[in-house]
Amino acid sequence: MGTSLTRRVFLLGSAGLAAGCAAPGSASGGPVTVEMWHGQEDTALDVLKGLAADFERTHPGIRIDLGGGVLADAMLQKITAALASGSYPDIAYVFGSDLASVARSPQAAEMTEVVDNGPDFWPAAREAVTINGRIRAVPALLDSLAVVCNKALFAQAGLPLPADDWRWPDFVAAAAKLTDASAGRFGTAWPGVGDEDTVWRLWPMVWDLGGEIIAKDGKHIGFAGDTGVRALEVVRDLAAAKSVYIDPKSGSDQMYQAFQSGAIGMVPTGPWKLPDIVDAGIDYHVVPLPTFTGRPVTISGPDTWTVFDNGTERVQAARTFLSWLTAPEQDVRWDTGAGSLPLSHGAQALPEWQKATEETEGLSVFVTALDSARVKPVHPAYPQISQAVGVAIVSVLLGQASPADALRDCAKVADAALLIPR
């Protein structure tokens, strides 16, 4: 799900380090250098560079090195190799879905003090960095999923814009009415590669229906019955009506380009796409995800700043930087500059964020959705579960399997992954 997020200030350790105080230098007398594999590019990286420079001015005992690493999509492979070689960074940007695998390393430092002494992180952000009751990273990104509608296409189809309490059958019906094959227009879109971008859009349906990704016994998926079938039936119905554009390439760029060119009526997406939609000149409307039950639910895909142990000085310096970085005053700079949601109620309340929501149509819908947001389980078998679900969704999208058959095959693979000792 990946795209953006950020920071905070509070006491660390028994002595503590306030935001305005300089952290001690290294034992040799010089500054402690924190190597950070940031995972960012373009605008987000520029914002992070500015924040790091400001931190160094107020903390002369710590230097932040942003020179290494790779983009976030390749971070897991890079970190895995680095840990195996014994040469790893102090901080890395790790996707939330990869944290369970990375945190198994004894080099991954615990971050309980940083998060507990930090701001009032949204529950989804805390949950995403907690494994077996221990906080293993610091929240770095926070988003949510909602539906962005093209107002002009709704008007052209004679459809009222969706209300906040709409249901999935309403979504399917609207998609059919918005579709015009002769004009090359689709009602909605869905990634069709089978990757995590394909999968995470299904989980709010599963949760809404009372299912779980992993059952309480930890040995089976928690959506193998009617829950999973009903969710996949939405996908089937969209495909059967030929009202869904299936993006054949990873990254979902084609479906977003089609939406921005006026060829798609509505698309479930996150707040990171709003700047592109605004730039494309689309007159749009944002509504929460539909539900089956009337209970609001969405998904958040928090990513993390994970710290690795290169000695006490560097771990303490990394914690100091992340405490400062995730403080509301810094967080709101990242949010407004790099297109993310605030990590905490404190950042949300700041005038800078309130101004951003006033200036950007629909942004407040994504923030409000955080009240009902859930996250994927931080479990080492999740990548295998996701892969199996991705195959199931694509097979239903392409009409190659019924929801029940696709789910049965998915359960065999996913349950087997859960039984592998880790």
Q: What is the CATH number of the domain that holds 394?
A: 3.40.190.10
More confident residue, 73 or 412: 412
Tens digit of each residue's pLDDT (9 = 90 or more) over 75-112: 999 999 999 999 999 999 999 889 999 999 999 999 99
Is the same domain home to 317 and 294?
no
Query: Does residue 386 share a domain with residue 358?
Result: no
Distance, CA of 79 to CA of 95 (rounded, Å): 12
Domain that holds residue 208: 146-299+381-418
Same domain, 192 and 283: yes
**What's the confidence (pLDDT) of residue 325?**
98
Q: Is residue 374 part of a domain?
A: no
Q: How many domains does the chain have?
A: 2
152 and 175 fall within a common domain: yes
- Classify residue 27: in a domain, yes or no: no
- The predicted model gives 48-65 an average pLDDT of 97
Classify the C-alpha dihedral 283-286-291-294 as positive or negative.
Answer: negative
Residue 296 pLDDT more than 90? yes
Does residue 397 sit within a domain?
A: yes
What's the confidence (pLDDT) of residue 288? 98
Could you give the percent of the chain with pLDDT greater than 90? 83
Q: Are residues 39 and 91 in the same domain?
A: yes
- Residue 109: how many other CB atoms lie within 10 Å: 21
Q: Is residue 156 one of the residues assigned to a domain?
A: yes
Question: What letter does residue 105 receive in the DSSP assignment?
Answer: S
Quick check: 201 pLDDT over 60? yes
115 lies in the same domain as 154:
no
pLDDT value for 9 = 23
| Per-residue pLDDT tens digits for 202-221 | 999 999 999 999 999 999 99
Residues 256 and 389 in one domain: yes
Mark whether 362 and 389 lie in a shared domain. Answer: no
Q: Is 385 found in the same domain as 318?
A: no
Q: Does 329 fall in a domain?
A: yes
pLDDT for res 155: 98
Structural domain contains residue 24: no
Q: What six digits make up the tokens of 182?
A: 């002769």
Strands 303-307, 91-94: pairing is: antiparallel
Q: Where does the pLDDT of residue 22 fall: very low under 50, low under 70, confident under 90, or very high at 90 and above?
A: very low
What pLDDT, on a 0 to 100 scale, did the predictor assign at position 403?
A: 98
Is the domain of 108 the same as that of 165? no
Buried b (16+ CB within 10 A) or exposed e, 80-91: eebbeeeebbbb
Contacts of 179 (CB under 8 A, 6+ apart): 185, 186, 187, 241, 242, 243, 265
Residues 6+ apart with CB under 8 A from 175: 186, 187, 188, 238, 241, 243, 244, 265, 266
Domain end among 324, 341, 367: 367
Backbone angles phi, psi at 77, to 5 degrees: -65, -40
Q: Is the pLDDT confidence value at 298 over 50?
A: yes
What pLDDT is attached to residue 421? 81
For the cut 70, the answer to whether the pLDDT of residue 243 exceeds it is yes
Structure confidence at residue 13 (pLDDT):
28
Q: How high is the pLDDT of residue 368?
A: 94
Q: 336-394, pLDDT tens digit by residue?
A: 887 789 999 999 999 999 999 999 999 999 999 999 999 999 898 999 999 999 999 99
pLDDT of the residue at 97: 85
For residues 231-238, give the mean pLDDT.
98
Q: Is residue 376 part of a domain?
A: no
Q: Residue 119, Cβ neighbours under 10 Å: how many?
A: 22
Which tokens go with 93? 């940007």
What pLDDT sits at residue 338? 75
Q: Is the dihedral of CA 54, 59, 65, 71 positive or negative?
A: negative
| 358 and 332 in a common domain | yes
Between CA 193 and CA 178 the distance in angstroms is 24
Distance CA 75, CA 195 (A): 16
Angstrom distance (rounded) from CA 405 to CA 409: 6
Does a structural domain hold residue 12? no
Is 226's pLDDT higher than 70?
yes
For the cut 80, the answer to whether the pLDDT of residue 17 exceeds it is: no
User: In terms of pLDDT, which residue wins out, 267 or 42?
Assistant: 267
The letter for the amino acid at 129 is V
The count of C-alpha atoms lying within 13 angstroms of the C-alpha of 57, restricted to the half-sphere facing its C-beta, is 6
User: How is 217-267 classified by DSSP, letter by letter?
Assistant: TSSSEE-TTHHHHHHHHHHHHHHHTT-EEEE-STTSHHHHHHHHTT-BSEE
Residues 157, 38 share a domain? no
